[in-house]
Amino acid sequence: MRRFGHIPLFLILGVMGCNGRGSSAGLDDSTFVATMAELRRVHGDSAISAPQRDSARLKVLQARGLTPAELDRHARVLADDPERAVLVWQALERKVAATPLPVH
C-alpha cells in the first residue's frame, strides 16, 4: 500500500509559508501548511512502521477533509508563484520547528 509515496513530492513542491490565500484547489495556504507540517511529523516518526505511517497520513488528510490530489493541486499552484511559495515554505518550516516529533 504505497498510496502515500508521493508525500515527499508535496514536501518539495509545496512545503512553503503562509498568507492565508486560497488556491484554485479550494485550499488556503494556512490549511496547506498545517496539513503538510502534520504529514512531515508523521513521515519523520521512526517509531512507527510503514503501514502505520500510511494509516496515520490517511487520518491526517481525513481529519481535514482533504485528499492527496487536493494537496498536489495546491502545491502546483504554489509552484507557479515562487514568491508565494517561499513564504509558504518558511511558514511550514516555522510550524514544524515549533512542534517537535513525539517522543516514544
- Mean pLDDT value across residues 86-100: 90
Report pLDDT for 17. 35
With b for 16 or more beta-carbon neighbours within 10 A and e for fewer, the 59-81 pattern comes to ebbeebebebebbbbbbebbeee
The residue ranges of every structural domain in the chain are 7-98
For the entire predicted model, the pTM comes to: 0.71
| Average pLDDT, integer, range 41-56 | 90
For 55-92, the pLDDT digits (tens) are: 999 999 999 999 999 999 999 999 999 999 999 999 99
- The three-state DSSP-derived secondary structure of the chain is CCCCCCHHHHHHHHCCECCCCCCCCCCCHHHHHHHHHHHHHHHHCCCCCHHHHHHHHHHHHHHCCCCHHHHHHHHHHHHCCHHHHHHHHHHHHHHHHHCCCCCC
